[in-house]
Structure 1
Amino acid sequence: MFLQKLPSILPKHFNGICNVSPKRFSSHFTYTPDEKAPIAGPKVKMNMFQAINNALDISLQSDESAVLFGEDVAFGGVFRCSMNLQKKYGKERVFNTPLCEQGIAGFGIGIANTGSTAIAEIQFADYIFPAFDQIINEAAKCRYRSGNLFDCGSLTIRAPCGAVGHGALYHSQSPEAFFAHVPGLKVVIPRGPNKAKGLLLACVKDKDPCIIFEPKTLYRAAVEEVPEAPFESAIGQADILRPGNDVTLIAWGTQVHVMKEVADMAKAKFKVNCEVIDLVSILPWDKETVCNSVKKCGRVVIAHEAPLTSGFGAEIAATIQEECFLHLEAPVQRVTGWDTPFPHVFEPFYLPDKHRCLEAIRKVIEF
């Protein structure tokens, strides 16, 4: 009954969508794999959760002090990222925790402070907030408050994030901007299997506590040829996925694939060449790569799933204004989620899809 009433409830320009049979689309993007593997050698076709499982396996195998824990990780986790690891490494190294995110983070901090390697899973990024105090006031400050005498740099926190097609307000959030405000942390977001494996292995070995937000919709949708051997992806280094000289498109995680498609659409419709940048690392972030691109192109569109106000796109836009002001040909455009709780049936209208991003490109080239 509610869906039948949608045309009268929504604005007129949505009526064309609602006057057809109601249908739910779980993806607002088309996944495209990386063209080149990060290293040479034998490769195996993996989706993203398999690549993460492979990285966890490597970490546990190469470091006898490493432990993996979180809600339901013993049987493989909700998204199967830890599947078969308890069977391989035993209950003392791969184990379930109580449903207590603050306890998971606190436990991980304690393990890391003793010199062991702690890999913690928060089942959904939406539930990381009870652990906020432990992460912000304990993990991030350990090194500073001790004058570098001790730290918890052997702590990595994994958290599935972002839209998934049916997650609604408690299983769809992108909280990266909250943590980007905290000195002492590192925050990364992969776009696919190769990046997920490389970033996770880099985080586990990093000397500062790391958070890796994993876009949950990519766990199965993203498939690539992944090297069997261990490799690390640099934290703090963005990737230029499409070179261009007219408009700089900046995104991370799932939104990277939206931007790659939008770049093709802009080429066909507006005859402009867009440079697509995957920021990869939120904290630290690669200002040099971004600013060099902006100085070349003069026009910028930033897209992320999190709400507009105080989203990480605002930090990027502010830096561009300070560093590249005289090179800009148009105001920086941000295409984001709205300043509302993440909706359920209205998810398609909330997400920064290719049509909204293409409209932002039109604005900057016609300014």
Structure 2
Amino acid sequence: MKKYIFARNIDLDSPIVTNTHNYAFECAKNNETTWLSTPIYPWRANREEKGNRVNNIQELRLPFLFNHGSRAINRGKFIWKNFPYTNYLLRPFSKIDYKSLENPDVFFCGSLSLFSIEKILKPKKLVYNAHDLFSLYPGVSPSISKIEKAIIERVDLVVTTSEMTRKVLISKYKVQDDKVLNLDHGINLNEFVDFKRPVEFLNISDPIALFVGTLSMINKGLIGEVMLLLPGIKFVFIGPHNQQDKAFFGNFKNSTLLGAKKRHELAAYYNNSNVGLIMYDLELIDSRLLGTNPMKRYDYSAYGLQIVSTSLREYEVNPSPMYIANTAKDYAEAIREAVYNPRFKKEEILDFAFKNQWSEKFKIIEKCLQ
């Protein structure tokens, strides 16, 4: 049994289950596994150092001083390089035995801002989980590229979630091809067994087009036109939303907002929908969205759903069975075809999902670290 420490700026039991979470869950089946998450700040009340225990993983929230890129004091590489992220001033007063975290076999980090903890942990192997191209985010500090370069040069393995991210990192930082491994996103087959119709669906008639994700990222202009073109199809949206989102979707009689759901609750909604939707801002596909490979397409595929998506560069190098449409007319027509005369066989869609199981992906990581 090896000792793994995972780190990401999201709680272990968050409704948002990332690829880093899934690798940790797979790891914990055979290894001692710890999760380091969102830091404790003085202004965040009721935050205990010891968080939840999930799937035999103990979550720890450590006291921190610096947060690169989002606080003026730490926008440069100098601070990041010379001050480990963990707060030494608070360390002596912590209830956590820091010594127990030292010298793990593997430190697997999914957040740029948490990476410098490795200076304190002193792991035998380092993995950077590059789940996006952060240097292309709007308004990001120029120091991010320097920090990312330093991390990639330091680690034993970089794991990406898209082929585009892999290609860009290799080209931008001039690293060897075999150091950067793309494993895409994945699925757990045992999550997809709930077929009971959700209570919210009892008053919603088929066909249902389902969107799962953060509504702030959806192309509202496009989805608005599509809903008007398809009054006979019910559009259901699951995910965090604000008052502006609520006001916008309230204008359409065939739309329903259900808010955020826990990961384990989603199966029932997937299994009782007809089409899965992915819809991004087309103007961002060569910048903010260049490295995007939606986890939704893996989840939708695991249920055999027909998928309709706007274009992403990732689809050009890493295709799967789905409809691609960029105008309201084409997108509406694709949904109509997917509902009434589907182009893709369910077996074909399920095969894509079956080939992308998290359990198999983590085995590849373990092999690379041997």
Normalised TM-score (structure 2):
0.32
Normalised TM-score (structure 1):
0.32
Larger relative contact order (CA 8 Å, sep ≥ 6) = 1
